[in-house]
Amino acid sequence: MNSTEIFLSLLQHNKRSFEELQWPNSDTFEVVVGAILVQNTTWKNTQKALSNLNNANLLSLDVIADLDIALLADLIKPSGFYNTKAKRLYGLIKAIKKDFDDFENFRQNVTREWLLGIKGIGPETCDAILCYACGRAEMVVDAYALRILNALDYEFESYDEAKEWLGSLDFDKVYKSTGLFDELGVFRLYHSLIMEFCKDYSKGKKLDHDVVKLHFGY
């Protein structure tokens, strides 16, 4: 079974509109913050932390850059590991200000290598920022994707190897099935379909392998 077949099977399973599957406030600075806050926690907890920042009118690059780090940590407490995440977020924002000055310049000119050089940003967080905040066609490989691949008996030696395999789609088939006509839209949809499938069929952090194999006809 190849990646295109997995994508099309997930698409067939999906019962939600493409709009419902989108990362909230894509292409904005909020995504950068959310990508840090969602590390090692649920999206529900991340949303609580983002709401705290939003309600305090703090969801902007310039404002957080001047914010007391203890206050930042307190506001993002619902996301867990809040002291560590506050330091990571503060460090990233200071680096953005130093090298790009503002979010739009960062969005247009940041590279994967630059992001991976920031403390606390690994490949998954990096690609989430590039894909959802910067509009780059990068496939995000998260724990959900690895659960599906593991259930289908696929093993990869590295994040980049799994990313390359998942991103190797027959785009003509995918475009025909989705009505989408750009790689960015497809990768965003693919990532969302994976998450929704795993939410439907996971118990805790475990995915029912028999259900997966039955669904994918594997």
pLDDT at 102 (0 to 100): 97
Same domain as 182, residue 109? no
Region for residue 176 given its phi and psi (left: phi exceeds 0; alpha: psi -120 to 50; beta: otherwise): alpha
Q: Which domain holds residue 56?
A: 29-133
Identify whether residues 9 and 54 lie together within a single domain. no
Same domain flag for 162 and 123: no
**pLDDT score, position 128:** 98
Which residues lie below 8 Å from residue 82, measured CB to CB, with a gap of 6+? 49, 73, 74, 76
133, 160, 192: which is the final residue of a domain?
133
Q: Tell me, yes or no, whether 83 and 44 share the same domain.
A: yes
Considering the domain architecture, whether residues 209 and 113 belong to the same structural domain is answered as no
Residue that terminates a domain, selected from 87, 116, 133: 133
Both 125 and 45 in a single domain? yes
Residue 65 and residue 125 share a domain: yes
CA pair distance 36, 23, nearest whole angstrom? 14
Q: Look at residue 202 in the predicted model and tell me its pLDDT.
A: 86
Which residue, 133, 157, 181, sits at the end of a domain?
A: 133
C-beta of residue 152 within 8 angstroms of C-beta of residue 197: no
Residues of the chain with pLDDT under 70: 218
Residue with tokens 């709401």: 51
Q: State how far the alpha carbon of 92 is from the alpha carbons of 33, 65, 110, 142, in Å.
A: 9, 9, 12, 21
Q: How many structural domains comprise the chain?
A: 2
- Model pLDDT for residues 7-66, shown as the tens digit of each residue: 999 998 888 888 888 888 999 999 999 999 999 999 999 999 999 999 999 999 999 999
Are 11 and 71 part of one and the same domain? Answer: no
pLDDT for position 16: 82
pLDDT reported for residue 218: 67
| One domain for residues 56 and 144 | no
What's residue 104's pLDDT? 97
